[in-house]
Homo-oligomer: A and B are copies of this chain.
Amino acid sequence: MDGVLAAAARKEKRVPPGKPTPAQSPANIPGDGTRERILDAALELFGERGLHAASVRDVAKLARANVAAISYHFGGKEELYRAVATYIAGLIGDRVAERAPQVVLSPPPETPEAALAELDIVMETVVDVLVGSEDMRRVARFVLREQMQPSPAFDIIYDSVMQRLHERVCLAFGIATGTDGQSEAVRLRVFLLIGQAIFLRVGEAVVLRRLGLERYDERLLGEVKTMLKQHVRLIVEDLHRSAEA
């Protein structure tokens, strides 16, 4: 479940006056996982309300911990916020890896057909992870908020996940269309294509209201996926034709 980055984050623990933890203290027993509960509660509230609107007292209450535990474990509110960022960078990486392993692990596709198939998987994954999954909802909110108002935490997520993923998708798009996957045009177009799905989360309130729904259900997400794959196919095929000419 845990990513490399999430694990790294745990080491960041503030060592009060004394010496650093002796390399591997086998998890301290008194009170179970307060640190993790705080991290989880912080993700929830920071994602829902943002850094300033969420108070450390509310975070502590949700985590069933004492307020002082936040300063104790993380150093302060801002450091907690950064810790959440590296925490979810790990979460996203893990989720993508288990949901679409070929995108992060396998070598890039070789034929346009295989590349198009990979793009289909990417679109489905984006919809599932970003819009569908209920437990990724707060993660998505946190990330979107960071995008609109980048803080130091933004670099953590960008460097470890976004840049890598976007690069890979551009590569596949280039192969599918027979064009240069490094070109500005391809990068831009990939953003536009993925932006379609992202808006479902950003503009959730408007979209649901206009559709007369309470929440996104399986039926609707299925329809969304079909549409997105159709859009991708139409655009890819058109570009492919142009590239051949």
Contacts and interface: CB of A to CB of B under 8 A. Distances in A.
A200 interface: yes
A166 B206 CA distance: 10
Quick one: copies of this chain in the complex? Answer: 2
A199 B191 contact: yes
A209 B158 contact: yes
A187 B210 CA distance: 8
Interface residues of A, number: 52
B199 A195 contact: yes
A109 to B, nearest CB: 21
Majority-rule SS of A interface residues: helix
Contacts of A210: 163, 166, 187, 191
Q: What are the 10 closest A-B residue pairs judged by CB atoms, nearest first?
A: A195-B199, A52-B53, A192-B196, A234-B234, A150-B205, A52-B52, A195-B196, A147-B203, A198-B199, A202-B202
Interface of A: 48-53, 141, 144-145, 147-150, 154, 158, 162-163, 166, 184-185, 187-189, 191-200, 202-207, 209-211, 220, 223-224, 227-228, 230-231, 234-235, 238
